[in-house]
Amino acid sequence: MSKVAFVFPGQGSQYVGMGKDLYENNSSARELFEKADEILGFRISDVMFEGPVEDLKQTDVTQPALFLHSAVLFEIMKDKNFDGAAGHSLGEYSALFSAGAISFEDGLKLVRKRGEAMLNAGKIKTGTMAAVIGLAQDKLEEACKQAAEKGIVQCANFNCPGQIVISGEPAAVRETMTLAKEAGAKIVKELVVSGAFHSELMRYAVDEFSEALEQAEIKPVKVPVYANVTAKPVTEPTEIRRLLLEQLTSPVRWEETINNMISDGYDTFVEIGAGKVLQGLIKRINRNVKILGVDKFEDLINL
């Protein structure tokens, strides 16, 4: 029996103008944007609609902006049936919102605090990230081991076949980049980020974020949400809370997540949020599934 999955994008998918057409064309969307401005204490809607891009790229703004955009889209289309959800990194919070595990207000507050904690961790301990294209996982992991003498470095995002992101201390990441090129990687590119996300360097964010996570109400999910840390469905609040905290320092197992969902019967994936990053990744993971995207108001009309 075929199943539909809603998937939600993470950091890097944001763009100036995101959500503006939703605000202009839908009254419930307008209410949620205004509610978000009130909850956060600043007009995040203005930054999303008008920029500047430098402000939108700040981690503590990017994260609530992406969550808000996905949440607004989901609220407009929540009468659509779906069987499960997943989100890439930050997108896991949007997935949990769609599954009824966290409220709009708690979700927005959590991702704002998560962004602040990650930004602060990046200030305490400088880190960087790099994308490695066209190198087998085992070879890249071996490169990370060899470079470990220069500091912390690890695989942070297993995105799709042949696309892995590494994260850690700058010297160790750059040494891994050199070793990856020597091992035959097609493309190796350092990313512009404010910290070494999904690595042990985010340990500094764990304590700051854990208190906010403990205070948030988390309910059992209405549909399974596949967690980044395990690539498996999670349903119970205690486990959800634990995995969200672990997610800060653990790799995003996106390729494994999608393959597990396909094995579990999901054959239609709908990306809800900014851009088409996840649609591209899923296409590279499996070309036989149906892939759709909902980003703008016109997408909702055509869905």
User: Which residue type, as a one-letter code, is found at position 20?
Assistant: K
Separation between Cα atoms, residue 221 and residue 183, nearest integer Å: 43
Give the span between the Cα atoms of 170 and 151, in whole angstroms. 8
Q: Which two tokens stand for residue 62?
A: 């990017």
CA angle, 128 then 134 then 135, to 5°: 75
Taking each helix axis from N to C end, the angle separating 91-98 and 237-247, rounded to the nearest 10 degrees, works out to 170
Give the Cα separation of 117 and 139 in Å (integer): 32
Contact in structure between 300 and 29 (CB atoms under 8 Å) = no
Query: Measured in whole angstroms, how far is the alpha carbon of residue 263 from the centre of its chain?
Result: 22
Please give the structure tokens belonging to residue 212: 């906010």
Q: For this structure, is 89 an active site residue? A: yes
**Residue 290 structure tokens:** 């149906």
Contact call for residues 160 and 193 (beta carbons, < 8 A): no
Catalytic residue, chosen from 69, 198, 199, 250, is 198
**Interatomic CA distance for residues 182 and 90, integer angstroms:** 33
Q: Pick the catalytic residue from 13, 45, 70, 89.
A: 89
Instruction: Decide if 198 is catalytic.
Output: yes
CA–CA gap between residue 42 and residue 246 (Å, rounded): 29
Contact (CB, 8 A) for 285 and 259: yes
Cα–Cα distance list, 121 to 33, 40, 116, 210 (Å): 29, 21, 9, 14
Tokens of 185: 């990687």
**Positions marked catalytic:** 89, 198
